Chain A
Amino acid sequence: MHWMRKLHDLLSRFSHRCVGGEAAEESKKMNVKRVLTGRYFMMGNVACAEGAIAAGCEFTAGYPITPATEIANRLAERLPQVGGAFFQMEDEISAIAAVVGASWAGKKSMTVTSGPGISLMSENIGFAISVETPCVIVNVQRGAPSTGMPTIGIQGDMVQAKHCSHGDYEIIALCPSSPQEMFGLTVIAFNYAERYRTPVFILSDAFVGHMREEVIIPEPEKIETIYRKIPEPGTDPQGIKGFLSEDVAPMPIFGRGFKAHVTSSCHDEVGKRNLIDISVLDNYIRKLSNKILKHKDEITLVERDYEGAEVVLVSYGGVARAAAMAASRAREEGLPVGTLRLITAWPFPEEEIEKMARKAKHVIVLENNLGQMYPYIKAEAAHFAEVSFLSPRLVGEIQDPEDILAKIREVAK
């Protein structure tokens, strides 16, 4: 299975450089119970919970919300068996706050929710970015805006993930297309969070979250997990530069005598608050963003299948399944059609879009919304190819491959 091989490659890419910390050691000791190696017919949301546990997650907090509850339910049952816990908080604001607190206490942490929960979490997501806190935020997207339609999957929160909190910042967001990826990408999300000291989004939706499909959970030795860098024990606390390095500063986690001063107010490399010097503000803004952008190549994951194609379907998440089917049917008809699937939505993979568009004549963007990633894709691709957008007939259902085929025939004329 190509994806499993890719998953393995991706995970082992980090393993030798960054493995460390007690949590990683502990998780290895407990691997027998942590990783449920085997072949399953499993719901996407359940696979996500298992991915988190396999990645070494110990602390989770959330608030009940459809269509993400199955993740919380599974975590609540499974985590205490391996020394962790799920806590049901009073709201999503406190859920993300507790996750950030636990991460500073040294625990790999995660929260699970849907769009309305992200709206409530937004301020503290900015906090997590500001003080460079590793954590995973799962958004199982549902019909929106506002309370919308909870059991229907749409891709309505794609830009929210990037821009929900105030100010300039970069975020990492990964889009699973299957229950297998709900497992695999959750593991990768933890590794990215720990490696780059940042919140990482899983942008799933009700369709992928509730989808039941084959999920293969590998042996624990084949799932490499990484843990954040922390300062050397015994380092003079006054000399620790624990913030704002483009190469990711070691995290002066609590309880180790690092005497960390952690504030989301404008601060310098040692964490000292500075509310008067705009050169410190400029440094604070730029370093946080550059830390992610500098490592964009490592973070970007895409699935390319457009060799020799004149028409390329660009999509992500559950919609990519319809795109793949439409492309294969079109090829049977002799039409030169390919696909590009964005697994990493943020940081936006401009280079991948350009590379694809340079070889294509027509780019069709497929999303289950009114076109959220479309403007970003168009901005990169329109210089080289005709770019158009195709939403489902009804937002809330994934595009019918027949409709995609009709669109392909139209542009390929």
Chain B
Amino acid sequence: MSEIVHPLHRFIRPSVTQTTFCPGCGDGIVVQAILRAIDGLGMDLDDFVFVSGIGCAAWIPSPFFNADVLHTTHGRPIAFAFGIKMGLPEKKVMVVSGDGDLVAIGGNHLIQNARRNIEMVVLCINNGIYGMTGGQAAPTTPMGIKTTTTPYGTVENTFNISKLVMAAGASFVACWTAAHPKQLTNSIKKAIQKKGFAFIEVFSQCPIQFGRKTGVGSAVEMLENYKNRSISSKEAAKLSDEELKDRIVVGELVDVEKPEMLEEVKKMMDKARGGVE
């Protein structure tokens, strides 16, 4: 009898034998969504270079994906990805990292490259907390929540990450939660094919550092919470900011055509060469 092998198993690095994610973590759902999207497009992992930063979500491609993977310093994966994409324009470059990595310490690289509209896919796994270091507040942690560094509750407003990246000029922005794996997979497919900066925010439950410590509950309860708070962008358009306060606006929020940086670089180089000859 032949052994039953998961259809996505061929994408996993052979030396990897176990997951590093905590029980109930949403990152496994994101792993599946990414690999199903690539599989669904009929692509191979050799068509990609994956880049990640520091934190739990950064361990999604590193070391799991059997591909070229650069696991970088905290906050800088998009900056490293910039150089990789310029050097290998024919490859798909995908950044996978968390909200602390991409929006707190690395926020400038996120908005600057959205502005440049350089072709790459950026997946921001938003768990609203610093999971790997033991549950410290992030710029995405809701106001008033108690964390290990905010024992009396957070005193800061939060980032709406998708809005931030939209305002910065990305040509594709989508937002989903771990409770929307199919929609997420479809958006990843679109993002991979997008000629431009394609950003996807994924709300992903951290039952250990967020759910347990803040009292939001188990993984199942957190997924229920995501489902209840989610509202489509179409419905959200009818509501005021106040009414949307605790909601997660899901869907493909931006999908536009605009000048892409690599194309512009090519034109610039043609101009420079014309000047010489």
Q: Which A positions have Cβ atoms within 8 angstroms of B?
A: 33, 58-59, 61, 77, 80-81, 83, 85, 87, 89-91, 93-94, 97-107, 109, 123-124, 127, 131, 237-238, 254-255, 257-265, 270, 272-273
B63 part of interface (Cβ distance < 8 Å) = yes
User: In the complex the two chains form, what is the Cα distance from A89 to B81 in whole Å?
Assistant: 13
B108 and A90 form a contact (CB under 8 A):
yes
Q: Would you give the shortest CB distance from A224 to chain B, in whole angstroms?
A: 23
User: In the complex the two chains form, what is the Cα distance from A258 to B46 in whole Å?
Assistant: 9
Name B83's contact: one of A81, A101, A270 (CB within 8 Å).
A101
B159 part of interface (Cβ distance < 8 Å) = no
Q: A127-B73, A260-B68 are in contact. Are A97 and B80 (CB under 8 A)?
A: yes
Task: Write out the residue numbers on chain A whose beta carbons fall within 8 Å of the beta carbon of B62.
Answer: 261, 263, 273
B86 and A98 form a contact (CB under 8 A):
yes
Beyond A97-B83, A260-B69, 5 additional contacts (C-beta under 8 Å) are A80-B272, A90-B109, A105-B49, A254-B84, A261-B63
Q: A99-B83, A261-B13 are in contact. Are A90 and B269 (CB under 8 A)?
A: no
User: In the complex the two chains form, what is the Cα distance from A238 to B275 in whole Å?
Assistant: 46
A259 and B67 form a contact (CB under 8 A):
yes
Chain B 187-228 per-residue mask, 1 if CB under 8 angstroms from chain A, else 0: 000000000000000000000000000000000000000000
B63 and A258 form a contact (CB under 8 A):
no
B269 and A254 form a contact (CB under 8 A):
no
Name B71's contact: one of A106, A109, A259, A265 (CB within 8 Å).
A265
Task: Write out the residue numbers on chain A whose beta carbons fall within 8 Å of the beta carbon of B108.
Answer: 90-91, 94
* 10 A-B residue pairs with CB within 8 Å: A94-B76, A94-B82, A97-B83, A98-B83, A101-B79, A102-B86, A123-B73, A254-B87, A263-B71, A273-B63
Residue on A nearest B80 in the bound complex, by CB = A101
B15 and A81 form a contact (CB under 8 A):
no
List residues 250-277 of chain B with CB under 8 A from any CB of chain A: 265, 268-269, 271-273, 275-276
A/B pair count, beta carbons within 8 Å: 142
Task: Write out the residue numbers on chain A whose beta carbons fall within 8 Å of the beta carbon of B15.
Answer: 238, 270, 272
Q: Would you give the shortest CB distance from B84 to chain A, in whole angstroms?
A: 4
B71 and A80 form a contact (CB under 8 A):
no
A254 and B268 form a contact (CB under 8 A):
no
B112 part of interface (Cβ distance < 8 Å) = yes
User: In the complex the two chains form, what is the Cα distance from A28 to B265 in whole Å?
Assistant: 23
Q: Would you give the shortest CB distance from B186 to chain A, in whole angstroms?
A: 27
User: In the complex the two chains form, what is the Cα distance from A255 to B63 in whole Å?
Assistant: 17
Name B14's contact: one of A80, A107, A238 (CB within 8 Å).
A238
B155 part of interface (Cβ distance < 8 Å) = no
Task: Write out the residue numbers on chain B whose beta carbons fall within 8 Å of the beta carbon of A61.
Answer: 82-83
Q: Would you give the shortest CB distance from A4 to chain B, in whole angstroms?
A: 27
Task: Write out the residue numbers on chain B whose beta carbons fall within 8 Å of the beta carbon of A90.
Answer: 108-109, 112
Q: A90-B109, A91-B108 are in contact. Are A80 and B83 (CB under 8 A)?
A: no
A85 and B86 form a contact (CB under 8 A):
yes
* Chain B contact residue count (CB 8 A cutoff): 41
What 8 pairs between A and B have smallest CB-CB spacing? A105-B87, A101-B83, A80-B272, A98-B83, A97-B79, A94-B79, A102-B83, A263-B71
Name A109's contact: one of B51, B68, B83, B273 (CB within 8 Å).
B83
Task: Write out the residue numbers on chain B whose beta carbons fall within 8 Å of the beta carbon of A97.
Answer: 72-73, 76, 79-80, 82-83, 109
A101 and B87 form a contact (CB under 8 A):
yes
Name A102's contact: one of B73, B84, B269 (CB within 8 Å).
B84
A100 and B83 form a contact (CB under 8 A):
yes
A255 and B73 form a contact (CB under 8 A):
no
A33 and B73 form a contact (CB under 8 A):
no
Task: Write out the residue numbers on chain A whose beta carbons fall within 8 Å of the beta carbon of B91.
Answer: 254-255
Q: A254-B84, A261-B63 are in contact. Are A124 and B76 (CB under 8 A)?
A: yes
B164 part of interface (Cβ distance < 8 Å) = no
Name B272's contact: one of A81, A104, A123, A127 (CB within 8 Å).
A81
User: In the complex the two chains form, what is the Cα distance from A301 to B78 in whole Å?
Assistant: 37
Q: A238-B14, A255-B88, A255-B91 are in contact. Are A103 and B83 (CB under 8 A)?
A: yes
User: In the complex the two chains form, what is the Cα distance from A238 to B70 in whole Å?
Assistant: 16
Which of the listed residues A81, A106, A260, A272 has the most CB atoms from chain B within 10 Å of its own CB?
Answer: A81
Residue on B nearest A254 in the bound complex, by CB = B68
Which of the listed residues A98, A255, A261, A265 has the most CB atoms from chain B within 10 Å of its own CB?
Answer: A261
Name A264's contact: one of B14, B72, B88 (CB within 8 Å).
B72
B66 and A259 form a contact (CB under 8 A):
yes
Q: Would you give the shortest CB distance from A50 to chain B, in whole angstroms?
A: 15
Q: A104-B70, A124-B73, A259-B68 are in contact. Are A85 and B79 (CB under 8 A)?
A: no
Task: Write out the residue numbers on chain B whose beta carbons fall within 8 Å of the beta carbon of A109.
Answer: 83
Q: Would you give the shortest CB distance from A74 to chain B, in whole angstroms?
A: 13
User: In the complex the two chains form, what is the Cα distance from A124 to B72 in whole Å?
Assistant: 9
Task: Write out the residue numbers on chain B whose beta carbons fall within 8 Å of the beta carbon of A254.
Answer: 49, 68, 70, 84, 87-88, 91
User: In the complex the two chains form, what is the Cα distance from A238 to B15 in whole Å?
Assistant: 8
A273 and B273 form a contact (CB under 8 A):
no
B84 and A105 form a contact (CB under 8 A):
yes
Task: Write out the residue numbers on chain B whose beta carbons fall within 8 Å of the beta carbon of A59.
Answer: 83, 86-87
Task: Write out the residue numbers on chain A whose beta carbons fall within 8 Å of the beta carbon of B67.
Answer: 259
A273 and B71 form a contact (CB under 8 A):
yes
Q: A91-B108, A98-B79, A127-B73 are in contact. Are A104 and B276 (CB under 8 A)?
A: no
Task: Write out the residue numbers on chain A whose beta carbons fall within 8 Å of the beta carbon of B109.
Answer: 90, 94, 97
User: In the complex the two chains form, what is the Cα distance from A106 to B85 in whole Å?
Assistant: 11
User: In the complex the two chains form, what is the Cα distance from A237 to B15 in whole Å?
Assistant: 11
A105 and B86 form a contact (CB under 8 A):
yes
Q: A259-B67, A261-B63, A264-B71 are in contact. Are A105 and B83 (CB under 8 A)?
A: yes
Q: A254-B88, A260-B69 are in contact. Are A80 and B80 (CB under 8 A)?
A: no
User: In the complex the two chains form, what is the Cα distance from A290 to B271 in whole Å?
Assistant: 46
List residues 33-64 of chain B with CB under 8 A from any CB of chain A: 45-46, 49, 51, 62-63
B73 and A262 form a contact (CB under 8 A):
no
Q: Would you give the shortest CB distance from A88 to chain B, in whole angstroms?
A: 11
Q: Would you give the shortest CB distance from A266 to chain B, in whole angstroms?
A: 12
